[in-house]
Amino acid sequence: VYLRKKDAPDSAEQVLLNVNELAKESDYFNVATLAVSDDNKILAYSYDNVSRRQYKIAFKDLNSGQLLEDSLSNVDSDIVWASDNRSIFYIKKHPQTLLGYQVFRHNLGQMQSQDQLIYEETDESFYTALSKSKDRSIIYIHHDSTTTKGVSIIDANQPTVISPFLVLEEGHEYYVSKLDDEFYILTNWEAVNFRVMKVSPGLTGTKQNWIEVVPHRDDTLIESLELFNGYIALKERRLGQTYVSLTHISTGTRKVLEFDESVYVVEFENNTDFSENYLRVYYSSPVTPGSVYDVDLRTLEKVLRKRNKVVGDFDPKNYKTERLFVKSRDKKDIPVTLMYRTDSFKQNGTNPMHQYGYGAYGITIDPYFRSHSLSLADRGFVLSTAHIRGSEMLGRDWYFDGRQQQKMNSFQDFVDVTKGLIDLGYADPKKIFAAGGSAGGLLMGAVANIAPELYLGIASHVPFVDVVTTMNDPSIPLTSNEYDEWGNSEDEEDYYTMLAYSPYDQIRKVNYPNMLVTTGLHDSQVQYFEPAKWVAKLRAFKTDNNILLLDTDMSAGHGGSSGRFRRHETRALEYAFFTTLAN
């Protein structure tokens, strides 16, 4: 249920949207975006009632509570209002590839067929997205491929002309934020781990006009920024750990926000007003539930505003978190995050272990608190996350060293972490379980082929396992967007690189671990038939009598089931599968 209330302390709450009511007649229902017009009178929201990420947009009059007749279909989830409070910008999806590729402007009261086309992306390697500047004066159209990123801008007050902030350049990635009469740019121009620069509005189109504000550092990746009057807040990553720093714009003085724990994640949380004198952050660790702090911009004093409650007799003192590094076969230090219950951990090779991994797209699996992990920890499991190459755990180069021709590094890193933790006494070598989903499902399929003897059980969720076939069919959603991630099978070198690790193609006549494979009938990211044919071939080739289960959710897509509780059923299935095998 989404609510709002006015600033006055005694003001009543108003229900913006009750998703429970909307979802009553649907097996799946998800509201992705809510956007209220600047005059606070009309709510636009995008929703998916199939789980194929083909959204619809509806409009609600917040004064009367009635839905408007306007309805938009086959769109992406992004919604941005123009300043006139009568029109929105949205992205239409391609009917075959499901890629968002056309930006339209919709005026309230007109048919979708009458909407004005503002921009069309003709390069299928790019994703398209929409956002709005914090001062609501600029609408951004984001252009995003694996290695090239940038924006075009539209005046929200006169939304008729679109212009590139800077013409896209292969290999150049930049993000834009606006403060007063200047743009601040997070850019990798001559800075692999990014730096911050600024420029006046009329000079954006030439990089030589950009002025450096925060320099590049070899050991620190700058991931995002927030702007305030007088301050720049940066989310940074160094040696795998996230930090938030504050830089005074006038003096250049830099301070870093500190916390007591050594392993945690901190990130920005809903900072919508330049004029605030505090920064709001979200904080979590494997033993600290999600917490929201307000941080004084001048003193860095923290005020805890909210901490998620944990059902049961949870006490963080009963658990311990570690961050260590395991050597890879090519002498790289692979970060690993561990969590376990102190009264059951021995470090003598007797604890069962659950090892998770992803390792693609530069996505880093940060050490958030996950209440479901307590279920395994309380049963004596060590929970490990292997921050393998393909993520950005150790900076941008860590990602580059785990994609395309270097993709095999991701899979070997995961195996090397398993072996390293066995050697250090963290895991019982006969009770090791591995799990991953999507690109992490590819990881599971690859390690099952590379080192099946290491794992008693593997859970592979919505797995991308038929790599060569998928990357050879540009009509499938995501294929053309991801040539720079995996490779293009029309290129001979890319073809043989993918063939060498593709789980479906590398199935052998050997003993495989016990395996649980899950998928969703409506999955638009990894089509359901991909894990289905993988399981069928495994059944034909494997030489063992171990369990091999395929669970297909007939009402779900790539993100699993909707609702507060149904998504936990898949997690419970995985944990029941592993704990049963572990006795």
Question: pLDDT for 302-355, tens place per residue?
Answer: 999 999 999 889 999 999 999 999 999 999 999 999 999 999 999 999 999 999
Compute the distance between CA of residue 571 and CA of residue 552 in angstroms, rounded to an integer: 14
| Comparison of pLDDT for 135 and 522, the residue scoring more | 135
pLDDT category at 564 given cuts 50, 70, 90 is low
Please state, for a pLDDT cut of 70, what percent of the chain lies above it.
99
Residue 505 to residues 371, 404, 434, 488: CA-CA distances in angstroms? Answer: 37, 17, 21, 16
Residues 442-459 as b or e (16 or more Cβ within 10 Å = b): bbbbbbbbbbbebbbbbb
Region for 279 from its dihedrals, namely left if φ exceeds 0, alpha if ψ lies in -120 to 50, beta otherwise:
beta
Instruction: Compute the CA torsion angle 557, 562, 566, 571 (nearest 10 deg).
Output: 50
Check if the beta carbon of residue 297 is closer than 8 Å to that of residue 278: yes
Check if the beta carbon of residue 557 is closer than 8 Å to that of residue 28: yes
Check if the beta carbon of residue 465 is closer than 8 Å to that of residue 441: yes
What angle, 0 to 180 degrees and rounded to 10, lies between the N-to-C axes of helices 439-450 and 408-423? 60
pLDDT category at 563 given cuts 50, 70, 90 is low
> Residue 151 has what pLDDT?
98
> Residue 562 has what pLDDT?
58
523, 524, 553, 562: which is the annotated catalytic residue? 523
Question: pLDDT for 291-311, tens place per residue?
Answer: 999 999 999 999 999 999 998
Question: pLDDT for 356-404, tens place per residue?
Answer: 999 999 999 999 999 999 999 999 999 999 999 999 999 999 999 999 9
> Residue 290 has what pLDDT?
97
> Residue 25 has what pLDDT?
85
> Residue 511 has what pLDDT?
98
> Residue 561 has what pLDDT?
60
> Residue 541 has what pLDDT?
98
Nearest in space to 193 (alpha carbons), one of 450, 437, 498, 398 = 398
pLDDT of 524 over the 80 cut: no
Average pLDDT, the chain: 94
Supply 7's token pair: 């600033």
**438 in catalytic set:** yes
Domains of the chain, each with CATH number or no CATH: 1-172 (2.130.10.120), 176-309 (2.130.10.120), 319-582 (3.40.50.1820)
DSSP state of 453: G
Mean pLDDT, to the nearest integer, of 443-472?
Answer: 96
Question: pLDDT for 33-72, tens place per residue?
Answer: 999 999 999 999 999 998 888 999 999 999 999 999 999 9
pLDDT of 548 over the 80 cut: yes
87, 438, 489, 524: which is the annotated catalytic residue? 438
489, 558, 561, 562: which is the annotated catalytic residue? 558
Between vectors from CA 370 to CA 365 and to CA 373, what angle results, nearest 5°?
105
Question: pLDDT for 185-207, tens place per residue?
Answer: 999 999 999 999 999 999 999 99
19 by Cβ neighbours in 10 Å (0-12 / 13-18 / 19+) ranks as middle
- pTM of the model as a whole: 0.92
**26 in catalytic set:** no
**461 in catalytic set:** no
Question: pLDDT for 472-506, tens place per residue?
Answer: 988 877 788 889 999 999 999 999 999 999 999 99
Q: Where are the alpha helices (DSSP H) in 285-407?
A: 373-377, 396-400
> Residue 349 has what pLDDT?
96
Compute the distance between CA of residue 221 and CA of residue 193 in angstroms, rounded to an integer: 5
pLDDT of 74 over the 70 cut: yes
Compute the distance between CA of residue 42 and CA of residue 69 in angstroms, rounded to an integer: 13
Mean pLDDT, to the nearest integer, of 146-169?
Answer: 95
Mean pLDDT, to the nearest integer, of 19-26?
Answer: 90
> Residue 8 has what pLDDT?
78
Compute the distance between CA of residue 177 and CA of residue 183 in angstroms, rounded to an integer: 6
pLDDT of 264 over the 80 cut: yes
Check if the beta carbon of residue 325 is closer than 8 Å to that of residue 335: yes
Compute the distance between CA of residue 172 and CA of residue 157 in angstroms, rounded to an integer: 29
> Residue 560 has what pLDDT?
65
Which of 1-10, 145-154, 319-328 shows the lowest mean pLDDT across its residues? 1-10
The DSSP code sequence of 257-294 is ---S-SS-EEEE-----TT-SEEEEEEEETTEEEEEEE
